[in-house]
């Protein structure tokens, strides 16, 4: 399988090379591979690439932690309390249908153009993902598992800590995986829309303003690589921590 994957990668780069070097596609849209590589190398030698990755990663991390924390906390609350769960369903569905980019101006108004507006947008988007999945996980604990604890006269906190939370964990992990990749998207978008000096989104935007397409490609490939890496990481964590999924 690994060999086939390398083969496919080489084929894709091959097609890219043919299209670019033969000038079938203008370098304005599709720069030559060596130009992209050169731009990548320049980014490394000037350390600009690390500054951008660092800035984006920091925003993703802080936003995800804040949003995830709030999302899990309120998700447990909503999922546990049946009345609130039933009442809140249409609101949650409504709110998650609103694209975060539509709310971005509000964050801008509230937090200004600094980092806090971007972090707030990331926290909002990833928090909502975490909330929805936590609610789902908590609300769908098999009643039998709770009854077992009830027959043992478990206190409410024990029921929550020893039965409901572990049982919701597989769904919470699904939340973590979607929320993290969503957080990267929102980070890049907000960096493009809200002017800033550092960040992958800002780098892509600035490059495109100056028609430096090869720099745009470096940004795109970097974003993809980061998303891919995070996905591998969370998939590994999922296997490790929720080994009983689908059992």
Partner 1 sequence: MPGPDAYIEVDDLSVAYPDRTAANKHLLAIDHLSLSIPRGAFISVVGSNGCGKTTLLLCLAGLLKPTSGTVRIAGVSPAKTTCGFVFQNYRESLYPWLTVLDNIAMPLWMDGSSRQKARQEAADLMTRLKIDLPVERFPYTLSGGQQQLTALLRAVIHTPTVLLLDEPLGALDVGSRSELRDAIQRIREAIGATTVLVTHDLNEAILLADTVVALTPRPARIAEELEIRLPRPRSQEVLQDPKILGWRDRLHTAMLGTQTP
Does position 98 interact with partner 1 (CB under 8 A)? The reply is no
State in angstroms the smallest separation of the CB of 177 from partner 1.
19
Q: Write the interaction track for partner 1 spanning residues 167-186; mark x where CB under 8 A is met and - where it is not.
A: x-x-----------------
Cα separation, 213 vs 25, in Å, equals 13
- Does residue 78 contact residue 85 with C-beta atoms inside 8 Å? yes
Residue with tokens 């153009």: 113
Task: Note whether 2 binds partner 1 by CB under 8 A.
Answer: no
Separation of alpha carbons 15 and 21, rounded Å:
10
> How many residues bind to partner 1 according to rule CB under 8 A?
21
From 148, 221, 225, 232, residue interacting with partner 1 (rule: CB under 8 A): 148
Among 154, 160, 193, 220, binds partner 1 (CB under 8 A): 154
Exposure pattern of 191-227 as b/e (b: 16+ CB <10 Å)?
A: bbbbebebbbbbbbbbbeeeebbbbbbbbeebbeebb
Q: Please report whether residue 149 would count as binding partner 1 according to CB under 8 A.
A: yes
Q: Does 33 engage in binding with partner 1 (CB under 8 A)?
A: no
Smaller CB separation from partner 1, 3 or 243 = 243
* Beta carbon of residue 9, minimum distance to partner 1 (angstroms, whole number): 38
- Collapse the DSSP code of 202 into the 3-class scheme (helix H, G, I; strand E, B; otherwise coil) and give the result: helix
Q: Are residues 119 and 63 in contact, defined by beta-carbon separation less than 8 angstroms?
A: yes
User: Smaller CB distance to partner 1: residue 91 or 157?
Assistant: 157
């Amino acid at each position: 399988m690994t060999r086939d994957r390398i083969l496919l990668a080489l084929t894709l780069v091959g097609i890219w090379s043919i299209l670019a070097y033969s000038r079938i596609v203008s370098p304005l849209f599709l720069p030559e591979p060596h130009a992209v590589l050169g731009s990548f190398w320049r980014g490394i030698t000037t350390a600009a690439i690390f500054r951008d990755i660092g800035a984006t990663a920091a925003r993703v991390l802080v936003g995800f932690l804040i949003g995830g924390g709030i999302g899990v906390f309120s998700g447990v609350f909503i999922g546990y309390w049946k009345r609130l769960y039933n009442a809140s369903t249409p609101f949650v569905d409504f709110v998650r249908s609103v694209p975060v980019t539509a709310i971005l101006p509000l964050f801008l108004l509230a937090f200004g153009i600094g980092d806090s507006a971007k972090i707030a947008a990331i926290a909002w988007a990833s928090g909502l993902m975490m909330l929805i999945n936590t609610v789902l996980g908590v609300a769908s604990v098999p009643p039998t598992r709770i009854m077992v604890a009830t027959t043992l006269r478990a206190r409410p906190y024990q029921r929550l800590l020893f039965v409901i939370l572990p049982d919701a964990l597989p769904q919470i992990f699904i939340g973590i995986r979607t929320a993290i990749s969503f957080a990267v998207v929102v980070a890049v978008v907000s960096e493009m829309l809200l002017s800033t000096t550092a960040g992958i989104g800002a780098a892509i935007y600035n490059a495109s303003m100056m028609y430096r397409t090869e720099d745009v490609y470096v940004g795109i490939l970097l974003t993809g690589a980061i998303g891919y890496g995070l996905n591998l990481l969370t998939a590994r964590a999922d296997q490790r921590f929720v080994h009983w999924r689908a059992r």
